[in-house]
Chain A
């Protein structure tokens, strides 16, 4: 790698276009959002204005975000995401483990099968779930043949959790696969040889040694779950709101942009918190990740 001073002309040619673009269409918009989160709607002639704002008026929007109503929604977003992440881990671990121990010629195909749904449009996949779970859907039809149902399976927390697991499971498989694949299998053999049962070997050796992959996967799934909007919107209906839906409402129906901006920043801080956690784990587990 060369120092930029050795060839400043090339350096600027390469650097300016993407930097300017990122500044103009990402950093500055975030700045607008940041300013907006500390602003209030202007009061014109005693009326709340629709389009005018008083900028940088204070922390009122953030204080309002800690209203029990919103705290409740945030809490619910966290536990729905946490539950979805846990379920993703529970299904993804055996999948990743199984692929690692499959015959070499099957590995690429199995990986492709796991990853492929991820590339299909999120909306289409969610729509496919609706078609399966709705009251006149395929699942209720099948249950009907054995004399059960129909059940209302959509528009509740269960549907949102299922939808999130369905959508984000591949995110969990990939980091897990990468760490399990790199794990020296002689550790597992040593554990069995020393008298550990399959279960003990799994809990005391495999899990601790693949912890970096588990942490990566958990964070990679938790972040998009926490910020999800489409899945709770389509599968959750009115009574399964998550933070993303509240933000959307502030910018669309409720037209309270300053409050929406404050909520957006809180969501981003939560995201950065999760990323920082992952970074800390990666520092701590350096000795383990051999």
Chain B
């Protein structure tokens, strides 16, 4: 990609203890993108983030920011800024001083500092609190200070470390919308680093899923959810039923395979003949029927558990061969509920096109 603002090329980071936190990662992040680095803790996303902002240096590889290799440029010389997970709002400075800090240390004129700090505070709606000290503010307000402090620098890239994790549920929604709005207004590339799939799915335009120091898949949220490329991604993003399957033969773009506990069928895939694959089906794509349905894929089982969540119910059905299937049932009538009860024998069925064949 030629218009990439951040281009990570074959970056490896090995720590002295022998741990390879980031293993030969290549990644392009476009101008103006709302990008997310998503993965479980220890997947290397934090190390990658620290290398982009210059707090860590790679063992090998290039980190090109704005067309220049900055792998070994100190953080204070990079056009990147970060909103820390702990916010790291300086406790000995007022809000105004915090926001102006980055301009002051780089020698911006006092008048301009005042003007730009004013604008930035306006943007995050903190003008009224300009003279406050951080210890007199809530966590949400401190995060806005951190945000204004980074944005006022007009960086090419803004990194956000777990931006919603420390907020309570209500504030999360506000901040999510706020961040999306800000990103659209300021036109800066945002990179959020998170372990929380909701955070990434709801805000980012593109997501890189990382595991064990490597990038597993880079795609839009919908693509990741509906077309995961590996078991890891399918399992990490959302809930999923993973069914082991054996491939018998390839017929054009389809495979003839045997799903454990379900039966033999044809599914769209380029799977290898004789190979072991997994078939992933999202719980909301599964349907429950009392009478045997006409659907091509159907399996009979016994309801083992029903959990009621208000809008949906999660039903776990025990089929043959030790196969457990999770089904999300919409409670779309007030008194109907899920319509099944524990111990009942029911049919589970789904459309063949809702099956995702995973070879990795």
Q: Would A287 and B133 count as touching, CB distance under 8 A?
A: yes
| B86 near A184: Cβ-Cβ < 8 Å | yes
- Which of B72-80, B200-208, B282-290 participates in binding chain A? B72-80
Given contacts A190-B88, A192-B75, A195-B153, contact A287 B135 (CB under 8 A): yes
Write out, one digit per residue, whether chain B residues 61-74 have a CB within 8 A of any chain A CB (1) or not (0): 00000000000001
Contact across chains for B75 and A189 when beta carbons are under 8 A apart = yes
Q: Given A189-B55, A192-B75, A290-B135, answer yes or no on A184-B88 (Cβ-Cβ < 8 Å).
A: yes
Q: Which residues of A196-239 are within 8 A (CB) of B?
A: 196-197, 200, 204-205, 208-209
CB-nearest residue of chain B to A186: B88
Q: Is B210 an interface residue (CB 8 A)?
A: no
Q: Mark A173-204, 1 if CB is under 8 A from B, else 0.
A: 00000000000101101111111110010001
Closest to B55 in A: A189
B91 engages A194 (CB within 8 Å): no
Least Cβ–Cβ distance between B104 and chain A, in angstroms: 8
Q: Verify if A143 is at the interface (C-beta below 8 Å from B).
A: no
Interchain CB contact under 8 A, A194 and B105 = yes
Q: Which residues on B sit within 8 Å (CB–CB) of A187?
A: 88, 90
B105 touches A189 (CB 8 A): no
* Cβ A193 vs Cβ B91 within 8 A: no
Write out the residue numbers on chain B whose beta carbons fall within 8 Å of the beta carbon of A113: none
Q: How many whole Å from A192's CB to the nearest CB in chain B?
A: 4
Partner of A194, one of B92, B101, B133: B101
- Any chain A CB within 8 A of the CB of B113? no
Instruction: Assess whether B232 is interfacial by the CB under 8 Å rule.
Output: no
| B333 within 8 A of partner (CB) | no
- Contacts A191-B101, A193-B75; is A186 near B86 (CB within 8 Å)? yes
Q: A193–B81 contact, CB under 8 A?
A: yes
Interface residues of A in 261-290 (CB under 8 A from B): 287-288, 290
What residues on B are CB-neighbors of A186 within 8 Å?
Answer: 84, 86, 88
Q: How far apart are the CA atoms of A190 and B102 in the complex, in Å?
A: 9
In the bound complex, what is the Cα–Cα distance between A194 and B135 (angstroms)? Answer: 21
Measured between beta carbons, the chain B residues less than 8 angstroms from A197 are: 76, 105
Q: Which single residue of chain B is at the shortest CB-CB distance from A196?
A: B105
Residue-wise interface mask of B (141-152) relative to A, using a CB-CB cutoff of 8 A (1 in contact, 0 not): 000001001100
Residue B300 lies at the interface, judged by CB distance under 8 Å to chain A? no
- B residues contacting A by CB (< 8 A) are 53-55, 74-76, 80-82, 84, 86, 88, 90-92, 101-102, 105-106, 133, 135, 146, 149-150, 153
- Partner-B contacts on A (CB < 8 A): 184, 186-187, 189-197, 200, 204-205, 208-209, 287-288, 290
Closest 9 CB pairs of A and B: A194-B102, A190-B88, A196-B105, A186-B88, A192-B75, A195-B106, A208-B92, A287-B135, A200-B105
What would 21 A/B residue contacts be, using CB atoms closer than 8 Å? A186-B86, A186-B88, A190-B84, A192-B54, A192-B76, A193-B55, A193-B80, A193-B81, A193-B82, A194-B81, A194-B101, A194-B149, A194-B150, A195-B76, A195-B105, A200-B105, A204-B101, A208-B92, A287-B91, A287-B92, A287-B133
